[in-house]
Structure 1
Amino acid sequence: MLPEVKLDALMVRHAEIESRLNGQLSAEDFVKLSRELSELSPVVEAIRNYRSAAAELQDVEALFADPGTDSEMREIADAERRELREKLEVLQHQIRLQLLPKDAMDERSVVIEIRAGTGGDEASLFAGVLFRMYERYAAKQGWKVEVVSASEGAVGGYKEIIAEITGRGVFAKLKYESGVHRVQRVPETEASGRVHTSAATVAVLPQAEDVDINIRDEDLKIDTMRAQGAGGQHVNKTESAIRITHIPSGIVVAVQDDRSQHKNKAKAMALLRAKLYDSEREKLDSARAADRKVQVGSGDRSERIRTYNFPQGRVTDHRINLTLYKLPEVIEGEALGELIDALVAENQAALLAAQNDAA
């Protein structure tokens, strides 16, 4: 059974927000309440549909149980009550999913870091494939991708690339991508046609806001330098590159992507804030070891999460033992959503099971 008291409270809160939004509010309160309303509206709609179907079922059950109901009408009522019971089960499941505890960071934008691992030049090329996959997937979601810093590989791809992906609910989708991604394919430079295995690591960090992390100026060492590598003469003539060291944690970030030192510093500070916040989240996760058992994977970035096998055209996610023979569609960003949706569903099922065990 659904917790009716909790459903009533959600309905009351939804009505309260609607009323407040019709009154005088500051811009900050309006944005905050509008966001809460958009999160509550789907569950409130499901609650209304559930209660309407429950009332309808009650009427049909009464008609079916009435001795005065003729056989033809009883047959119709029996068919209707079966349909309504199925509908109620679906609505109950929807509401239970929407009532699951949510990660406070799910709505945030992210910083994504992709680094070539074992495999030399082939690993750098694969890191480039992964970045383009996320870039295309982000475009399909209506998200914006901006490169923060990049170090290109000798024959293409990236030794390392860091980018911001901004939009609504980015972390909710991409948080499952953190870990080691392995590729099996024949390199273009391999004359004998042997399949090589190489890897790249992906880290997805929720973007932190000023209120999340307090960074003191005295804890920072900021260095400026000339940008290295490609970028034209202008880039190398000016000290536009920025390196920031957070002294207490030892975390170092460097950005040289933009010609403007001011813009590079802003990007570096955003990246530092995300790294510090992620570090704090990891500490909390370690302290909540029991909670982590119900999540898909451990979140450990050394964990091998997925294999992309080019000769067989398949992608396997090892956490949920799901294999799709759609490798081209996945790396084009078209079918990546199928993997992500399966991971979300698995995580929801694990949370529901844990909730039922605790009940």
Structure 2
Amino acid sequence: MLEREKMEKIVVAYDELQEKMSDPAVIADQREYARLTKEYAHQGPLAAAAKHYVQDLDDLAEAKEMLADPEMKEFAQEEISRIEGELPPLEEDIKYMLIPADPADDKDIIVEIRAGAGGDEAAIFAGDLYKMYVRFAESRGWKIETLDASPSEMGGYKEVQFKVKGDKVYSEMKFESGVHRVQRVPKTESQGRIHTSTATVAVLPEADEVEIDIKPEDLRIDVYRAGGPGGQCVNTTDSAVRITHLPSGLVVQSQDQKSQLQNKIAAMAVLRARLYDKMLAEQQAAEGAERRAQIGTGDRSEKIRTYNAPQDRVTDHRIGFNSTYNSVLLGSGLEEVITALQAAERAKKLEQVV
């Protein structure tokens, strides 16, 4: 049974949050008001469930007192049976609601895929991962926008960067950050030997301007002529943009948009995402090793998954989950892998709540 006092505190805190949002000083602070509004919306279902739980406890105590009255005994027994049947599922709902939410789950994302060890085959594999995510996004009804790409001569990409927009994108795609390893016979292999290659994937939640304050004086912006295949004017004008964030040393660039302004907007979106990701990493580090060990918060240097073509198997090493090679790379099988990772993350967090 949940602690009554804890449930009462949740209800009180929610009422105080509502009162705080009506404070003129808070309303005047755009960033703080946006944060509180989001928190208020998120805490609403939990506060309602906690209030319901406290009411059930009161009703149960009252019904038990009625048992001493012969005229009310039958009614009291019915009430006790009803409430005792209602409490367990309500407790389970509240436990799940008490699981700390990832502050970025509702956000759109920027994905960066880079070829790792393996030469041309690594670039081809990076391209296969890109196509896998495009197919998965399409199945979800999400929108994809390529921000920057460096194609490889043999196919695939040395590096590709793209934005994914949709409903709760980060809540699913956050599990993809890390090192992906493939074992197969490359297209470039004439002797039929199996090679091992890698690609790194970074999934960055996209940050709003109110969340990440970037000062103009902290930026160095360079423009240059874009390289590689492109549309009209892409290779004939200085439309590509490189932005250096001086305090952090982060460098971002974009050259795949149609104009210098669009490339600047795209590069700024990437910069905000990287700074936000850096901020989240620092917060997690401050929260301790237990928080960092959660499923889905793996560093991009961590090997998370192996794609084994000869054995038609994909293994996610974090939870030991296996799926089939072709279905995952085609995008359709990725869903069951992510679903398993989400279930593992919820179970791990629930252990801490209980």
Which TM-score bucket, shorter chain as reference?
A: 0.7 to 0.9
- Give the equivalent residue in structure 2 for 1:351: 349
- Give the equivalent residue in structure 2 for 1:263: 262
Bigger shift: residues 332-341 or 150-159:
332-341
Per the alignment, do residues 45 and 197 of structure 1 end up closer, same or farther by CA in structure 2, a change over 3 Å counting?
farther
Q: What is the CA–CA distance in structure 1 between the aligned matches of 2:178 and 2:272, rounded to whole Å?
A: 21
- Give the equivalent residue in structure 2 for 1:107: 106
List aligned pairs for 1:1-359, cutoff 5 A. Answer: 1-5=1-5, 7=7, 13=14, 39=42, 43=46, 89-232=88-231, 234-296=233-295, 299-324=298-323, 326-356=324-354
Q: What is the CA–CA distance in structure 2 between the aligned matches of 1:102 and 1:188, rounded to whole Å?
A: 43
Per the alignment, do residues 263 and 298 of structure 1 end up closer, same or farther by CA in structure 2, a change over 3 Å counting?
closer
Asked if structure 1 preserves the Cα contact closer than 8 Å seen for 2:285 and 2:292, the reply is no
1:147 is aligned with what amino acid? T
Give the secondary structure class of the aligned counterpart of 2:183.
Answer: strand
What TM-score does the superposition give when structure 2 sets the normalisation length?
Answer: 0.80
Which ranges of structure 1 fall in alignment gaps of 5 or more residues? 63-76
Task: Tell me the percent identity.
Answer: 47
Asked if structure 2 preserves the Cα contact closer than 8 Å seen for 1:125 and 1:157, the reply is yes
Give the secondary structure class of the aligned counterpart of 1:172.
Answer: helix
Asked if structure 1 preserves the Cα contact closer than 8 Å seen for 2:8 and 2:51, the reply is no
Q: What is the CA–CA distance in structure 1 between the aligned matches of 2:33 and 2:291, rounded to whole Å?
A: 35
Per the TM alignment, residue 188 of structure 1 is displaced from its structure 2 partner at its CA by 2.5
CA deviations 1:51-95 (Å, max 9, x no partner) are 99999999x999xxxxxxxxxxxxxx9xxx7xx86x854543332
Per the alignment, do residues 41 and 248 of structure 1 end up closer, same or farther by CA in structure 2, a change over 3 Å counting?
closer
Which ranges of structure 2 fall in alignment gaps of 5 or more residues? 22-26, 66-77
Per the TM alignment, residue 268 of structure 1 is displaced from its structure 2 partner at its CA by 0.7
CA deviations 1:321-352 (Å, max 9, x no partner) are 1112x222222222212211222222222222
Q: What is the CA–CA distance in structure 2 between the aligned matches of 1:194 and 1:89, rounded to whole Å?
A: 57
Per the TM alignment, residue 98 of structure 1 is displaced from its structure 2 partner at its CA by 1.6
Per the alignment, do residues 251 and 329 of structure 1 end up closer, same or farther by CA in structure 2, a change over 3 Å counting?
same
Per the alignment, do residues 331 and 55 of structure 1 end up closer, same or farther by CA in structure 2, a change over 3 Å counting?
farther
Per the alignment, do residues 136 and 5 of structure 1 end up closer, same or farther by CA in structure 2, a change over 3 Å counting?
farther
CA deviations 1:244-300 (Å, max 9, x no partner) are 111222211110111211111011111111112222222233333333354126622
Per the alignment, do residues 251 and 186 of structure 1 end up closer, same or farther by CA in structure 2, a change over 3 Å counting?
same
Q: What is the CA–CA distance in structure 1 between the aligned matches of 2:279 and 2:35, rounded to whole Å?
A: 25
Q: What is the CA–CA distance in structure 2 between the aligned matches of 1:323 and 1:352, rounded to whole Å?
A: 24
Q: What is the CA–CA distance in structure 2 between the aligned matches of 1:349 and 1:105, rounded to whole Å?
A: 19
For the aligned residue pairs, the C-alpha RMSD in angstroms reads: 3.8
Asked if structure 2 preserves the Cα contact closer than 8 Å seen for 1:149 and 1:163, the reply is yes
- Give the equivalent residue in structure 1 for 2:72: none
Q: What is the CA–CA distance in structure 1 between the aligned matches of 2:10 and 2:264, rounded to whole Å?
A: 43
Give the secondary structure class of the aligned counterpart of 1:171.
Answer: helix
2:115 is aligned with what amino acid? A
Asked if structure 2 preserves the Cα contact closer than 8 Å seen for 1:294 and 1:351, the reply is no
- Give the equivalent residue in structure 2 for 1:72: none
Per the alignment, do residues 201 and 273 of structure 1 end up closer, same or farther by CA in structure 2, a change over 3 Å counting?
same
What TM-score does the superposition give when structure 1 sets the normalisation length?
Answer: 0.79
Give the secondary structure class of the aligned counterpart of 2:93.
Answer: helix
Asked if structure 2 preserves the Cα contact closer than 8 Å seen for 1:226 and 1:238, the reply is yes
Asked if structure 1 preserves the Cα contact closer than 8 Å seen for 2:121 and 2:188, the reply is no
Q: What is the CA–CA distance in structure 1 between the aligned matches of 2:262 and 2:177, rounded to whole Å?
A: 27
Q: What is the CA–CA distance in structure 1 between the aligned matches of 2:163 and 2:198, rounded to whole Å?
A: 22
Give the secondary structure class of the aligned counterpart of 1:301.
Answer: coil
Give the secondary structure class of the aligned counterpart of 1:114.
Answer: strand
Per the alignment, do residues 333 and 55 of structure 1 end up closer, same or farther by CA in structure 2, a change over 3 Å counting?
farther
Q: What is the CA–CA distance in structure 2 between the aligned matches of 1:250 and 1:32, rounded to whole Å?
A: 28
Q: How many residues align?
A: 341
Bigger shift: residues 113-122 or 41-50:
41-50
Per the TM alignment, residue 241 of structure 1 is displaced from its structure 2 partner at its CA by 0.6
Per the alignment, do residues 240 and 284 of structure 1 end up closer, same or farther by CA in structure 2, a change over 3 Å counting?
same
Asked if structure 2 preserves the Cα contact closer than 8 Å seen for 1:152 and 1:160, the reply is yes
1:276 is aligned with what amino acid? L
